[in-house]
A and B are shown apart, each in its own frame.
Chain A
Amino acid sequence: MASAVVLLAIVLAVLLGPLVWRVPINEIDFAAQLAGPSWAHPLGTDDLGQDILARLLYGGRISIAVGLCAMLVAAVVGVLVGAIAGMSRGSVDVVLMWLADLFLSLPQLPLLLLIIYLFRDALTNVFGSQGGIFVMVVAVIGGLRWMQVARLVRAQILSIREKEFIEAARALGASKIRQVVRHILPNAMGPVIVAGTIDVANAIIAESTLSFLGLGFPPDIPTWGRVLFDAKDTLDVAPHWALFSGAAIFLTVLSINFIGDGLRDALDPRRVL
């Protein structure tokens, strides 16, 4: 419960904060360079004298949006692949599950970095610098995380489709698609919701990692990882800069993980983990 409150507070702050705290994120003020927390700047300022609170509130929108969108991509692809594999016995199932296993054994972060390294310029030309990076980061993080959901959905479908109520639906002449969409998937959603919740946390970490390595969003988009990347070289004089941005990532991820764990207890009582 406490974690739900914390997460809600963070989301509300990020959504409404920029409306209340109207300091621009890119107002450069060399007089207040690397200043610690004060009334004018509650979380201090960075090396250009920009207000860290404003930057974190703005960047949080992007970090959380990346997390949610990447989770949606992963969930949609995963449910689709899992449903197709579960409903078609035989070679399609084997091939799809082999593909899932293959993706599971790919080294995620190196591949993520490789794709972004190779495709960054092309996408920037198509979607513009902010949109291009956003689309790419979401697609790549989501596209490398669907395997877990796909396996869960497939396993659920394999057991549910043998139940009597599905047989009844089949006897009444429901098509395969209707059986899956109306009868099987609603009963298989529990584990998918749990996996999806934890995927949001993982996607936020993945995005922050990319930005932290200097290969994610450009400096004018202060996502939490990007702020931390900028802060790491002045750790000795301005620790507040790194601490606040790191704490934002940590609190968000921790509360999402706790919520995922609570959901698991609520939705999936068989598992003890």
Chain B
Amino acid sequence: MSRQYLIRRLMIAIPSLLGISIVLFTVLALAPGDPFGELASNPAIPPEVAASLRAKFGLDDPVWTRYVHWLVAMLHGDWGFSFASRIDVDTLILQRLPTTLIVIGAAQLLAILVALPVGVLAGTRPYSLFDQIANTLAFIGFSLPTFFTGLLLILIFSVRLDWLPMVYRADLGATGWRWFVEEVKQSIMPVAVLGLFQGASLVRYVRSAVLDVVRLDYVTTARSKGIGERKVITRHVVRTALIPVVTLVALQMPVVFGGAIVTEQIFRVPGIGSLLISAMLSNDTPVVMAVTFVFACLVVLFNLIADILYGWLDPRIAYR
């Protein structure tokens, strides 16, 4: 992979980040309601004070100046003050972000661990019984909305069997080994809900990618050289088939974040997804804007990582 390719990819990420910020700002600017509406109607505040406040915060400036001010503030990490939690928004988000990333990461890992073997097996034996069962299960898997699977798991494992805790607790009253066991126990359900949903759609991508590659001439060549079937599949087929799958995983990231919001809300996981919902329910606009912005940045970041991985996996891409 050349350095040129890396730089070009980084350059492509900047306009898309700018585009996303423009979309977000447009939504915010078009939204009805004036943050100083209350001040204007309050008779205790003289109009001059209200006007000077408006001037101070630049509310009467042209739209693009406001956009630049807003963007600069966002990039400086100056995200405002949470009305509900009484702390700075950036500290609040930094507290919550690691939990979200761990849950999403573990879920993606689970999805890949399930989808890779199943997809490869199904793709190498198309239309067999195994393929049909896997395909049907995959269909069921991504037709089950995450909020319903979450409730189902709670119903089975928490309410009926009482094996796993119903809600996620940030402050476990335990240390050392017991803390770890408790932490794993309470993470199983959120990770499973998100991971199996992801895995279900991933299975179909892997299967069709493998199906495309298995027919190629170089695979026949490998077989005719006398390489064992298992080695042909693992060393020759899967390596090539994974290349398009990487892009598809990246394209799925916005969906993953959506799923993360729902799962965090169901299991009360203290991540940025549940923060977003609680901020919306308590009209905490700075937090809402900042969390949406963070989600957008994460999506762009993961697209970037996928593109770089793509260039590394497939050297033909880098020199185009």
- The interface residues of chain B, by DSSP majority, are classed as helix
Q: Which listed residue, B145, B211, B288, touches A250 by the CB 8 Å rule?
A: B145
Q: Which partner residue on chain B sits nearest A215 by CB separation?
A: B280
Chain A residues with Cβ under 8 A from B257's Cβ? Answer: 107, 109-110
B312 in contact (CB, < 8 A): no
Q: How far is the CB of B184 from chain A (nearest CB, A)?
A: 23
A200 in contact (CB, < 8 A): no
Chain A residues with Cβ under 8 A from B154's Cβ? Answer: 235
Is there contact, CB below 8 Å, between A117 and B288? Answer: yes
The 0/1 profile, CB within 8 Å of B marked 1, for residues 98-126 of chain A is: 10011011111111011101110110000
The 0/1 profile, CB within 8 Å of A marked 1, for residues 6-28 of chain B is: 00000000001001100110011
Q: How far is the CB of B279 from chain A (nearest CB, A)?
A: 9
A232 in contact (CB, < 8 A): yes
Is there contact, CB below 8 Å, between A253 and B143? Answer: yes
Interface size on A, residues (CB 8 A): 46
Chain B residues with Cβ under 8 A from A102's Cβ? Answer: 16, 19-20, 23
A31 in contact (CB, < 8 A): no
Interface size on B, residues (CB 8 A): 51
Chain A residues with Cβ under 8 A from B258's Cβ? Answer: 107-110, 209
Chain A residues with Cβ under 8 A from B281's Cβ? Answer: 214-215
Assembly CA distance A254 to B137 (angstroms): 11
B299 in contact (CB, < 8 A): yes
B144 in contact (CB, < 8 A): yes
Q: Which partner residue on chain A sits nearest B283 by CB separation?
A: A117
Q: Which listed residue, B24, B27, B204, B255, touches A108 by the CB 8 Å rule?
A: B255
Q: How far is the CB of B160 from chain A (nearest CB, A)?
A: 9
A203 in contact (CB, < 8 A): no
Q: Which residues of A contact B (CB under 8 A)?
A: 98, 101-102, 104-111, 113-115, 117-119, 121-122, 201, 205, 208-209, 212-215, 225, 228, 231-232, 235-236, 239, 242-243, 246, 249-250, 253-254, 257-258, 261, 272-273
